[in-house]
A and B are shown apart, each in its own frame.
Chain A
């Protein structure tokens, strides 16, 4: 982590802090003694190859999964000991695969995002949040459709809208760009960056596109084999040698229009 990120973490408090987080399935160590310290406010991209342990780590931080060892605190609250309903007002998390067996409209789903605040009796203010989240993700016209009548990318946006509607300090999203077209992917990353810059949200996203990480993240955390292989600003991480080590693939990095862009195709 950079010096500036560290000072800001100290002065403004932690967004996400993980100490010695470890998870194993049977004999395989899936998350191996991970330490993380993300300041409040900012976008962090979690990258790494398939099976690196990104989703597992994110689920542990988002208290969807228990760790075998280590501690996690989010927005200053220990996720293992804080009451679930209190935590839900400060921390929102979306998993990689979201499937529902029940029939819901998009608006129903997004309204669930207000549950931590409204306990199922949404006020006018809650409904305003819902409409804003719908508009934010370009879903207003689809709001009364059932989820099983949507395309994959539309459904993905509906789930992200639910989580944003929760209006929490910390937002964890596992591959939110799945199935999104170019325009909606760019729009979503822009929204997340705005939420971080303007509202001081701490956003952690798992992404596979290195260039998304490079262009939108303040911090990149690269994982490999359950460990944090590297952590730093895009300038520190977008280095050919480092990326090649993480992915086992030659990667070139170019500076284009002031952005660091990786190319890796044949």
Chain B
């Protein structure tokens, strides 16, 4: 029973090792980063480059956070179509952002540091995400189409409530909030860059220490339990990390729906192994290449002002549809 997409039996010797694939991706990422920082400085490198660094770091953080959260989420939920964004995580974060602004502006805290706001929102996000989603996923049994529906309902609900609240807020703040609803890679919230970098670094360390556990989790609840992995506890841990990562990326650029799916599948396809030690960094590097490279190409080479988010969401959305069709065909076959 060969799947159509399955590559014909290839000789191991002629294929690149996973390590080599990672190496190539790393080199590409470095090249893209160098291009982004150094191109078109018109002799003002010492002035321009430092200005670009913060935006670069923000893009890298966003890409890395989205890639990691998507792959981890797909591992614990045992499917390759649902993503945190599709389950409404991003929308939930936007809602919490709105609520926080609403509450803060109503009180006398208007001048509060965005970093404090971010930390408050992230804590709320973890709490709400666990409350809403843990029971859904910890059992390890569910129907995919039910989850997709639940995700759509959640996302729509969160967005509507956020929209309603925004209408109740006074107009000057409404402008700020409206920016929250749409992703933009050009206007990054730069105040948050170093704080979120620290957060992402901590999450990455926690993830690296459990890479092998995630390999086992990907087998599903039954086999993972059989092999001695506490599925419920690990699922809770991963959902917590995912909530934090979604907070980071959404706080920096806004909600991005399909990008995670795109880079996760790039990584699954290119990794040549199931091991998270390869898949996760590869997904992260693919995301960096897409975001930083995409921004570089659009801004400097094509000199168009089309927002990158539109292009990326389009390609990601097409990936989503292709996956659904592929899956439906396989189920019919």
Contacts and interface: CB of A to CB of B under 8 A. Distances in A.
A85 interface: yes
A116 B227 contact: yes
A98 B78 CA distance: 13
B6 A87 contact: no
A120 B228 CA distance: 12
Contacts, number: 78
Interface residues on B, range: 20 to 34
A94 B226 contact: yes
Contact of B78 (A85, A101, A113, A149): A101
Q: Which of B215, B220, B222 has the most CB of A within 10 A?
A: B222
A63 interface: yes
B3 interface: yes
Question: What is the interface of chain B mostly: helix, strand, loop, or mixed?
Answer: loop
Interface string B204-226: 00000001110110111111011
Contact of B222 (A85, A95, A120): A95
Nearest to A87: B228
A148 B2 CA distance: 7
Given A100-B219, A100-B220, A112-B219, A89 B228 contact: yes
B12 interface: yes
A101 B80 contact: yes
Contacts of A243: none
Given A95-B222, A149-B2, A149-B6, A115 B79 contact: no
Contact of B212 (A101, A121, A148, A166): A121
Interface string A61-88: 0111000000000000000000111111
A148 B4 CA distance: 11
Q: Which size bracket describes the interface of A in this complex? A: 35 or more
Given A104-B274, A112-B216, A64 B227 contact: no
B302 interface: no
B274 A84 contact: no
A27 interface: no
Contacts of A112: 215-216, 219, 223, 227
A120 B274 contact: no
A16 to B, nearest CB: 15
B226 A64 contact: yes
Interface in B249-286: 268, 274
A148 B326 CA distance: 15
A217 B2 CA distance: 37
Nearest to A83: B228
Contacts of B1: 148-151
Nearest to A109: B219
A86 B2 CA distance: 38
B280 to A, nearest CB: 14
A93 interface: yes
Interface in A32-85: 62-64, 83-85
A192 interface: no
- Which 10 A-B pairs give the minimum distances between C-beta atoms? A88-B228, A120-B212, A85-B228, A115-B227, A116-B228, A84-B228, A95-B222, A102-B218, A102-B274, A84-B230
Given A93-B226, A144-B12, A148-B3, 18 more contacts: A64-B221, A84-B225, A85-B228, A95-B222, A98-B222, A99-B220, A101-B78, A101-B80, A102-B218, A112-B216, A115-B229, A119-B212, A120-B212, A120-B213, A120-B215, A149-B2, A149-B9, A163-B226
27 contacts: A62-B226, A64-B221, A64-B226, A84-B230, A92-B226, A94-B226, A95-B222, A99-B220, A101-B78, A102-B80, A103-B274, A108-B274, A112-B215, A112-B223, A115-B212, A115-B227, A115-B229, A116-B228, A119-B212, A120-B211, A120-B215, A145-B9, A148-B2, A149-B1, A149-B9, A163-B226, A166-B227
